[in-house]
Amino acid sequence: MGEGKRSIWVFGDYRNYFQNRVTLQLISRASDLAKAIDATVCVTVFGHGVDEWVWEYTCHGARKIYVCDHEKLKFYSNDIYLHLMEKLVREHRPEILLVGATAFGREFAPRLAKRLKTGLTADCIGLDIGEDGLLVQTAPAFGGNMLTKIVTPVKRPQMATVRPGTFQEIPHDNDAVAEIVRVPLPDDLPEDRVTLVSSVRQPERVQKLEDAAVVVCGGRGMGSRKKFRNLYELARILGGEVGATRPVVYSKWADEEALVGQADKHISPRVLISFGISGAIQHTAGIRDAGFIIAVNKNPHATMMKMADVAIVADANQVCTALIKELRKRIRS
């Protein structure tokens, strides 16, 4: 039996919540899409002792939540989670199903799509509803050289994984309400082929680049690894994170996880300060949701300078050093 009304589903991937709020970002985008096709935003939550996540998703825009809470679901199991999700999707037939492109989502979503015999667009950086009511899924293609728009005209659900940081979450609303549907553990669960021996959380940075409100981003124009390190000090003072272009990462001035661009991290800080970056499309595709952009470049005609709200024609390293000095003075006084 399908839903009375059409539905858009988001898989509740809460396991790395404190490093990664992609599920909240997807609920937010699903809410926009739902308005266009008159659908209900539903979230699935599987696990054990998951009420706090049900509450969190409710406060961030979910209108219906399917919860399966059982000790057998305490740890993620491919076989069991897929079985459960497949059953629910077949029963309720959502129009659209969104999964975060986390390590988990990248493993889970293609297998689910295969079982449901539907299409899946991986690593989307844009989702819209087209004139015909279909989900238009924008994703990098051909090694990140171009963006493609993909639709799933016949098969259902229309499935996509979406990069963390692509969309802004809806602010927390304590008064929000959602319908909670308790799903019993099916009695035809498959045998779990994997036995989990232990689970240890890998220590991560407290703040992710994708979630940072301030990002200081550096390019080849910083000149050297030593000069590039100054950006870390500036970011620290501003309470932000450091991003980098591909040449910088290739030169080992910054770690790979700092790479910003269409094939890598998609960031949406409130303030982005860009130092010595030309503004190649592969980089700017990753910063198009930045709020206020300040760019520093020797070349006033660089694309990055044209994109900026404030463009400073100057030596990147000199501006960075002067900013650090001035901010330190202000902190002391």
Ligand X SMILES: Cc1cc2nc3c(=O)[nH]c(=O)nc-3n(C[C@H](O)[C@H](O)[C@H](O)COP(=O)(O)OP(=O)(O)OC[C@H]3O[C@@H](n4cnc5c(N)ncnc54)[C@H](O)[C@@H]3O)c2cc1C
Choice between 85 and 277, CB closer to ligand X: 277
Choice between 45 and 302, CB closer to ligand X: 302
Choice between 13 and 264, CB closer to ligand X: 264
Is cis: bond before 157, omega within 30 of 0? Answer: yes
Question: Residue 137: exposed, middle, or buried by beta-carbon count in 10 A (0-12, 13-18, 19+)?
Answer: buried
Interface segment toward ligand X; rule CB under 6 A; list 42-50, 179-187, 204-212, 295-303 = 295-303
Interface segment toward ligand X; rule CB under 6 A; list 69-77, 100-108, 139-147, 164-172 = 139-147
Q: Tell me which residue of 318, 296, 315 sits closest to 307, measured CA to CA.
A: 296
Query: Does residue 144 interact with ligand X by CB under 6 A?
Result: yes
Choice between 48 and 298, CB closer to ligand X: 298
Choice between 118 and 282, CB closer to ligand X: 282
Q: Tell me which residue of 86, 135, 147 sits closest to 281, measured CA to CA.
A: 147
Name the strands in the sheet holding 64-69, side by side, starting at the edge strand that comes first in the sequence.
Answer: 120-124, 158-162, 96-100, 6-11, 39-47, 64-69, 179-182
Query: Does residue 254 interact with ligand X by CB under 6 A?
Result: no
Q: Which residues in 206-225 contact ligand X (CB under 6 A)?
A: 219-221, 223
Interface segment toward ligand X; rule CB under 6 A; list 12-20, 39-47, 78-86, 260-268 = 260-268
Q: How many residues in total does the chain contain?
A: 333
d(CA 77, CA 165): 26
Query: Does residue 245 interact with ligand X by CB under 6 A?
Result: yes
Q: Tell me which residue of 268, 258, 265 sits closest to 205, measured CA to CA.
A: 258
* Binding region for ligand X (CB under 6 A): 143-145, 219-221, 223, 245-248, 259, 261-264, 276-278, 280, 282-283, 296-299, 302, 315-316
